[in-house]
Structure 1
Amino acid sequence: MPSSPRPLMAGPLAVAAALTLAACGSSDSGTDSDAASSSKGKTHTVATAMGNVKVPVAPKRVVVLDTAELDSALTLGVKPVGSTHAGTESGFLSYLPKEKVAGIEDLGEMMTPNLEAVAALKPDLILTSKIRHGDEYDELTAIAPTVMTENTGYPWKENFQVHANALGKVPAAEKIIAGYESHVGEVTEALGGKEKAAATEVNMVRFVEGADIRIYGRQNYIATILADVGLGRPAIVDKAKDGFSYDVSPEKIDLADADVVFHSTYGDAEKSNETRTVGSGLWKNMTAVKGGKVFPVDDELWIQGIGYTAADSILDELQADLTK
């Protein structure tokens, strides 16, 4: 299941290394266009989960093998020549603007990319993560320089810096990060300020076909956005395994209760127990449900996107729902 494996938690050394990558070997000293104009044939070194990798200063034919890398590239103004998809019926995640993904070759499902198709595109850079494609690293590096982060999800901000460095887009990344931080501040203020936001306990619940229901903890993509806004979290999230999620059956869904509950579904509503659960007495008796503070959200956006473009849309939805 492409979006369901638990992302491993980044160790302190991995996170510390990721935070310094934007400065490691980068040739960017001015604007991205300045770098591109004088970069033909030049390389720089990027520190990755697999060691130092030499990549083109301004790569032209980029392949991405996961949703986070696709979000990063498009956010930075780089259209990949190829990308995998996340197992969705719609192909690339639906929150991404159609004009931005038009023309990108689909390289197969995320966990099983078509390496022959990757090679046929003659990429000069491949972006992915060790947790997804570490086993294919040798085959990928035989095709093109491959930049892997350690994992995905929780360390998405550090990973974005790695992607920006590899793409030669460090100045653009700095502007995007600053814009996100400004947006976060606007949302917090719209919710009544830091104190009021912190007093509002929010849960994120995901119904997953073929698995238990997930109450998301503090160490995953969506949790970082909730934390940035300063929203409170109920005590149940601290029971999450490895900080990722606390999994429950439909018979224990009342453990997910909070002031506000957002929920998404991966897969079929019946097979994921969504239909059964939201129709149950336990669900209907939750405080959030009784108070009209339960909001269904798009799984592709809130869970699978893992990037700044997705995050900005999530911030807009948070503000809209929490100020109703």
Structure 2
Amino acid sequence: MTQTHRPWALALMLAAMAALQGCGQEDAGSPKATAPPPAASSPAQQAYASITVHHKLGATVIDKLPQRVVALDMNEVDFLDELGVPVAGMPKDFVPHFLAKYKDAADVQDMGAIVQPNLERVHAARPDLILITSLQANHYKELSQIAPTIHFDVDYRDSQANHIEVIQDHLMTLGRIFQKEDLARRKSAELDARVQEARSLIQDRPETALIVLHNNGAFSSFGVQSRYGFIFKALGVKPASPSAEAGLHGQPISSEFIQQANPDILYVVDRTAVMERRPMLDAETLSNPLLRQTSAWRNGRVVFADAEAWYVTAASVNSLKLMIDDVTKAYRN
């Protein structure tokens, strides 16, 4: 390049550099280059006040409205169902008939077994709240590392002390968590009304009753101090026989024991039908000559209870209503 052309070349170079710099400034300020703003939280999330739930296993802090809830016990599923809260995951090994809509629901993930939930599936479900009972209590530490975990402090071994109040209190706690307190109050009031109606029907009646669990031909008795103790304590049913302290599955008894106790009313909970998915016992299939000699049998006051409500759940609003219906059948007929 000659000396005379160099000023023009320099001018052209400077003009090109200025143009490129202007383009760079224009791109940097254009909407395409701007990162999207963070998603705004919902009004409910913005207004959510932190809640601390104290239970037997510790204290659980809920600082946002839960969106994905895993319930590892059918009682907890029933609570959520009563409150209209979606269930993200639950065990599907023993789903009672009154919660059957969840069994094959594609949007409800299967968490394995009630007694032994699959923790990997729980983690994969990405919950922001996990609900458990004593049946899953040994997994509390691991579950709490996945998401806030609340233990339902219901005593499956002895329900005589404030069983219904414990259920109502848990219902109200979930109502607070999910901002459905008014609905929880209505459900609690409905349960109160059912309990009072049953108590009014039963309290002045002289009949005695025996609750037995059937398991492959063998029987266990559940008295005042048992998982069904509230039936005697809260509803006023009179026990046919004083019973020793019963464990989770009752006090083993013989057919002779039932015959000698001679209850006016006999409630039969068929565990075998639930656990082995067999047809439930009835008056025709229970071929036990000693039971047929009781006053209850002779007078047609043997109630074959809703085993799924009595055995799979028994500690939630809907299951309690079904149990009360079974209890009062013997007094209405």
Q: TM-score, normalised by structure 2?
A: 0.72
Aligned to 1:182: 193
Q: CA contact under 8 A between 1:132 and 1:151: conserved in structure 2? A: no
Seen in structure 2, the aligned counterparts of structure 1 residues 295 and 134 have a Cα distance that, compared at 3 Å, is closer
Aligned to 1:228: 234
* SS of residue paired to 1:261: strand
Cα shift readout 1:275-312 (whole Å, capped 9, x = no counterpart): 99942321111111111111212210123222111111
Q: CA contact under 8 A between 2:207 and 2:264: conserved in structure 1? A: yes
Seen in structure 2, the aligned counterparts of structure 1 residues 159 and 318 have a Cα distance that, compared at 3 Å, is closer
Aligned to 1:137: 140
* SS of residue paired to 2:127: coil
Q: CA contact under 8 A between 1:205 and 1:262: conserved in structure 2? A: yes
- Any stretches of 5+ residues in structure 1 without a counterpart? 1-35
Seen in structure 2, the aligned counterparts of structure 1 residues 289 and 300 have a Cα distance that, compared at 3 Å, is same
Given candidates 303, 310, 318, the residue that maps to 2:319 is 310
1:247 aligns with 2:247: no
Q: CA contact under 8 A between 1:64 and 1:83: conserved in structure 2? A: yes
Cα shift readout 1:29-74 (whole Å, capped 9, x = no counterpart): xxxxxxx953446532110222211114531211111122122221
* SS of residue paired to 1:195: coil
- Residue pairs, 1:120-131, within 5 angstroms: 120-129=124-133, 131=134
- Residue pairs, 1:99-138, within 5 angstroms: 102=105, 103-129=107-133, 131-138=134-141
In the TM superposition, residue 244 of structure 1 has moved relative to its aligned partner by: 7.3
Distance 2:187 2:104 in 1: 20
Name whichever of 152-161 and 49-58 sits farther off.
152-161
Q: CA contact under 8 A between 1:69 and 1:163: conserved in structure 2? A: no
Aligned to 1:13: none
Distance 2:66 2:226 in 1: 30
State the aligned residue count: 276
1:294 aligns with 2:298: no
Seen in structure 2, the aligned counterparts of structure 1 residues 221 and 68 have a Cα distance that, compared at 3 Å, is farther
In the TM superposition, residue 221 of structure 1 has moved relative to its aligned partner by: 4.7
Percent sequence identity is: 23
Distance 1:195 1:42 in 2: 47
1:53 aligns with 2:60: yes
- Any stretches of 5+ residues in structure 2 without a counterpart? 1-41
What amino acid sits opposite 2:310 in the alignment? W
What amino acid sits opposite 1:143 in the alignment? I
Distance 2:103 2:84 in 1: 9
1:261 aligns with 2:266: yes
Seen in structure 2, the aligned counterparts of structure 1 residues 241 and 314 have a Cα distance that, compared at 3 Å, is closer
Cα shift readout 1:98-155 (whole Å, capped 9, x = no counterpart): 27984422211111111111111111100112x3223222211111001113454324
Q: CA contact under 8 A between 1:215 and 1:256: conserved in structure 2? A: no
Cα shift readout 1:58-99 (whole Å, capped 9, x = no counterpart): 3121111112212222122223111114x43xxx11133527
Given candidates 158, 167, 170, the residue that maps to 1:162 is 170
User: Rg bigger for which structure?
Assistant: 2
Q: CA contact under 8 A between 2:172 and 2:185: conserved in structure 1? A: no
Given candidates 44, 67, 71, the residue that maps to 1:38 is 44
Larger RCO: 1 or 2 (CA < 8 Å, sep 6+)? 1
Distance 1:174 1:221 in 2: 25
* SS of residue paired to 2:224: coil
* SS of residue paired to 2:269: strand
* SS of residue paired to 1:80: coil
Distance 1:242 1:297 in 2: 20
Q: CA contact under 8 A between 1:67 and 1:304: conserved in structure 2? A: yes
Distance 1:101 1:263 in 2: 30
Seen in structure 2, the aligned counterparts of structure 1 residues 95 and 225 have a Cα distance that, compared at 3 Å, is farther
Distance 2:173 2:114 in 1: 23
Aligned to 2:292: 284
1:214 aligns with 2:220: yes
Q: TM-score, normalised by structure 1?
A: 0.73
Distance 2:147 2:307 in 1: 32
In the TM superposition, residue 216 of structure 1 has moved relative to its aligned partner by: 0.9
Seen in structure 2, the aligned counterparts of structure 1 residues 255 and 177 have a Cα distance that, compared at 3 Å, is farther
* SS of residue paired to 2:62: strand
Q: CA contact under 8 A between 1:65 and 1:110: conserved in structure 2? A: yes
1:69 aligns with 2:76: yes
Seen in structure 2, the aligned counterparts of structure 1 residues 223 and 241 have a Cα distance that, compared at 3 Å, is closer
Structural RMSD (CA): 3.2
Aligned to 1:21: none
Distance 1:144 1:268 in 2: 35
Distance 1:115 1:100 in 2: 19
